[in-house]
Structure 1
Amino acid sequence: SILYPRTCEFHYAQCEKPVSLENIENTEGLQTDRDQEKMSSKIEEEDKSFVVKTGQSLEGHLGTYEVGELLGKGSYGRVFKCYKVGSEEIVAIKILENVKEGREEFKAMKLIKDLDPDQNNLMKFHECFSYNNATCLVYEILYVSLQMCLSKTHFHLFQIRAFAQQMFQALSALKSIGVVHGDIKLDNILLVKSKSLRIKLIDFGFAKKANKLLKGTEIQITPFRAPEVILGLPLDESIDMWAVGSVLACLYNRGYLFPCDTEYETIRAMVLPTADEYTQNTRKQVKDHVVDLDAIIQVHQDRFDDHDDDDHRVFIDLLKRMLEVNPQNRITPSQALAHDFITMKHLSGEAVLKPKTLSLRILSPWTRVQGPSWPRLTTTGSGCTGAVDLDQGSQTRARGPSAARRMMICGPRLHMKDYC
């Protein structure tokens, strides 16, 4: 059955795991060189690590926190669920034993301190303090990552639309202050809570000003790494748009778009965008990745009874614009927010964009591609936060190809309300 946006408790039963999900679930090897170096040193010094026990108290500037369960562990530190003493507030505290690493993440959070975290779908930061020579960063507590959701469910296109709009708003806010996140991936996008389509972008440990990004900077993990990063070319905020495009492709296809064992394999798959070309040039069969964006429509169509061809074609058009090889021609956050897939104008015959028909041939000469003139994004109030009216799309389904029927299939029109 199709699940409409009133809830985010997806069907976990009868969800077969495709081969492509094996690499989605194994994320230990998907790290930057900097991550791997730090993880190696941490293994060597594991016995010397700062011990945090359940029930222990951490004294911060804004209050005392009681340590609860361990939520996660990475190459840079551990995250605990904590309870603020004297209140009902629950927070997530990230503990980093390396002072330099803690200082860098705190510095990154200061870059975005003037952005509204709720309006722009960014993780809320409360405070930073030191405890026993460890740095403690206090954040709002969120639910589970899209990585975890993807391993258990199929995403319908209306859910992907909701996630896409919120991520575009986040990128738009970051671009407005000239900041690059630099580590957008499934693990770093979390649902705010259960029974919600609201998400937030987390982990700004690699964030920095775009004008300080140097060529050859070690940034992004391989499945979400932009071609200009792999090739050591000039970098800017557009690398985040590539990463979001790769994330949306993962949600749609339930697998990485390109092979990601090595950067060489990734680039080779980008150069050879069809299965026939890949096999002809490498003498290998395509196994667990899809390089033909148009071909994945059928894969997704087979998973759901309700399917609107126009909606899926418009989504693929958006993906092609996000995964444009030349970062100068790559779609911007404001343009993405005005794309038909987000505005849903194509469902009522108001489409304003011409389909993008360019193939995804990454290493072809970077000549400027003439595209359509984009409409300017207009918002009301303080900005476009992006949201879905959860009461729409939950009524009895109509028959026939009417606009109402198509809205039932594709989800409600997005507007400025809360997803929760």
Structure 2
Amino acid sequence: IPGVGNLFPSKSHYYPFPTVKKTPHNAYTVEKVLGSGSFGEVAKCTKVGTNEIVAVKVMPKHQRAAAEDEEKALKHLCTLDPDKNNLIKFYESFTFKGNFFFVFEILDMSLFDLLDKLDWCPPSVAEIRAIAQQMLVALSALKSIGVSHTDIKSDNIMLVDHSSQPFKAKLIDFGLACKTEELSQYKTFQPVGYRAPEVHFGVQKYEGVDMFGLGCTLAHLFLGGHLFPIYSDYENVRVMVHLLGQPNKTEMKDPNQVEDTKAIQPADALKHTFINMKHLPKDGTSSYVTAAHKIMVSSC
């Protein structure tokens, strides 16, 4: 986006105005830009007076509608406990020089960054299980307030602190979140490669789209690569049909009629033996089982 690089003022460029925003309550000093994308930029900032480190996301003024939608979604999420439900903690939002700023807790790295750090060698199944459990808790919480994320992928799940809590994770980026009851108003959403069949085929959409996105994300971790092609709608659907088979007419007309064995809900998935590990031996002789339980306890 032209000019996005200047949304976060550097001390040299804007001197003597090193802070992003100064109000009677809060001011933030920019330390460094962490990343950028179509939405704008995210910077690591220090809260003046407390030295608390936070992440500040900025969206340019021409994205007013998107910024207002994200603010509405984030305020709705405030009814949930972010730590208990593995959601990023949102502190406040404000405008400055016409741009829109959102202040969040600082996290460590995304799952995409983790794979990159591992040279695309997959984490262990025990580690993936811990991430799956936490994201199922997050989706169960979103379901309880009637919200769908619609953009679940490895970039939007972050590790809190990979050093001290290696696989403690949180769901981030609610810029495309909406009320689940409004999903059918949107023709297309979710990134290619993580897009649910009902979105591809233009039939009734429901909260299962997030479960599909999570499944694709977990497969990405397990495989060290994308389960479905991300570069083409056609290739995505072709591979999906090859792997999963042709959708039947009932499912095409109403995804809510999908068999229970296929349309698993977050709360039900949390009871699955893969997550609760009830299928694993309990005699204490397996080093894998011991490690798996330790990873789960330290993460959840």
TM-score range relative to shorter protein: 0.7 to 0.9
In 1, the alpha carbon distance for the partners of 2:85 and 2:292 equals 22
Partner of 1:347: 280
Q: How do 1:78-97 and structure 2 match up within 5 A?
A: 78-97=41-60
- The whole-number CA distance in structure 1 between the counterparts of 2:208 and 2:81 is 22
Instruction: List per-residue Cα deviations over 1:122-141 (Å, max 9, x = no partner).
Output: 00000011111111110000
Secondary structure of the 1:192 match is: strand
For each residue in 1:91-133, what CA deviation from the matched residue of structure 2 results, as whole angstroms up to 9, or x when unmatched? 0111111322221110110121100000000000000111111
Residue 173, structure 1, aligned to residue 130, structure 2: no
Shift of 1:167: 0.3
Distance between the aligned counterparts of 1:410 and 1:47, measured in 2? 45
165, 168, 171: which one pairs with 1:201? 171
Q: 1:232 maps to what in 2?
A: 202
The structure 2 residue matched to 1:330, chosen from 228, 240, 263, is 263
Quick check: 2:94–2:102 contact (8 Å CA) kept in 1?
yes
Does 1:144 pair with 2:109? yes
Distance 1:49 1:214 in 2: 37
Matched positions, count: 276
Summarize deviations over 1:325-359 as a string: whole Å, max 9, x none. 9486411100110000111010138xxxxxxxxxx
Q: Which residue of 1 aligns with 2:96?
A: 131
Q: How does 1:16-415 map to 2 (within 5 A)?
A: 42=1, 45-46=2-3, 50=7, 52-54=9-11, 56-57=18-19, 58-60=21-23, 62-98=25-61, 99-153=64-118, 154-195=122-163, 196=165, 197-214=167-184, 216-273=186-243, 326=258, 329-348=262-281, 403-405=284-286, 407-408=288-289, 411-412=292-293
Whether contact under 8 Å (2:194, 2:228) holds in the other structure is: no
CA deviations over 1:131-179 (Å, ceiling 9, x no partner): 1111111000000110011123230111001100000000000001110
The share of aligned pairs that are identical, in percent, is 40
Contact 1:342–1:414 (8 Å) recurs in 2: no
Q: Distance in 2 between matches of 1:239 and 1:215?
A: 14
In structure 1, C-alpha distance between the alignment counterparts of 2:228 and 2:151, rounded to whole Å: 17
CA distance in 2, matches of 1:144, 1:47: 22
- Cα distance in 2 between the residues matched to 1:259 and 1:51: 35
Q: 1:84 is aligned with what amino acid?
A: K
Quick one: distance in 2 between partners of 1:412 and 1:61? 47
CA 1:222–1:206: 2 relative to 1, 3 Å: same
Task: Determine which structure has more spread, i.e. the larger CA radius of gyration.
Answer: 1
Rounded to whole Å, the distance in 2 between the matches of 1:244 and 1:52 is 36
SS in 1 for 2:91: strand
Partners of 2:213 and 2:228 in 1: CA distance: 12
Q: How far is 1:49 from its partner?
A: 5.7
TM-score by length of 1: 0.61
Shift of 1:240: 0.4
Q: Secondary structure at the match of 2:65?
A: helix
Question: Match of 1:158, SS?
Answer: helix
Aligned to 2:254: none
| Cα distance in structure 2, aligned partners of 1:136 and 1:164 | 30
**Aligned equivalents of 1:342, 1:48: Cα separation in 2:** 43
Question: CA RMSD, aligned part only?
Answer: 2.6
* Aligned-partner residue type, residue 248 of structure 1: L
SS, match of residue 126 in structure 1: strand
Distance verdict in 2 for CA 1:51–1:116, change over 3 Å: closer
TM-score, normalising length from structure 2? 0.84
Compared CA separation, residues 59 and 404, structure 1 to 2 (3 A): farther
For structure 2, list consecutive stretches of 5 or more residues without a partner in the other structure. 12-16, 246-256
Structure with the largest fraction of strand: 2
Contact 1:125 1:140 in 2 (8 A): yes
